[in-house]
Amino acid sequence: MELQIDDSVLVRDYMNGDERALELLISKHNQRISSFIYSKVMDREITEDIFQDTFIKVIRTLKRGTYSEEGKFLPWVMRIAHNLIIDHFRKNRRMPRFEGNDDFNIFSLICDDRLNAERQIIKDQIDSDLELLIEELPEDQRTVLIMRIYRDMSFKEISENTGVSINTALGRMRYALINLRKIIERNNIVLTN
């Protein structure tokens, strides 16, 4: 039976110069972080690149001594990976490819779906209001809602990342939505444009 060393102990040991502690941290969380990254990018090479970049950021932060230990090493690393995934998609934004066929329509290419300035301001205000409402939810419900809606994670992924069963994750999502509706009704908030 392998002895599991707490992340905070490994982080402290690494910050005190024990390089082996970092190896243990990486091997301990390798599968979970790699699976999370792969579920978003669906490419092994990109997954490896983002995984490496994630731990480069982790190492730099630990070496600078700017990591604040709150017993949340894995969620912190997952957040770094998530941000790098978003950066990857922003950098590699590609134009859609169009296959030529008999039904080709030039107007499908030149249609402008962007919001006008007024609608964009309204949308931004709604997004801002919604973020404030979400902050009022209990932490377990807020976490599931953010993972599901903003990070587009499946309930299986949410279950794996939070350490609860899929049914518990589903229940938390349900209660989060019920509680959001109550907050909206109680405060007579309108979230439409």
Judge whether residue 190 has pLDDT over 80: no
Domain layout of the chain by residue ranges: 7-91, 116-186
Tell me the CATH number for domain 7-91. Answer: 1.10.1740.10
- Please say if the pLDDT value at position 48 is more than 90: yes
pLDDT at residue 46, as a whole number: 92
Domain at 116-186: CATH code: 1.10.10.10
Q: What's the 3-state SS for 121-187? A: HHHHHHHHHHHHHHHCCCHHHHHHHHHHHHCCCCHHHHHHHHCCCHHHHHHHHHHHHHHHHHHHHHC
Q: For residue 80, give the amino acid letter.
A: I
pTM over 0.75: no
Which amino acid is present at 20? R
Question: Whole-angstrom Cα distance, residue 136 to residue 130?
Answer: 10
Rounded Cα distance between 38 and 41, Å, is 5
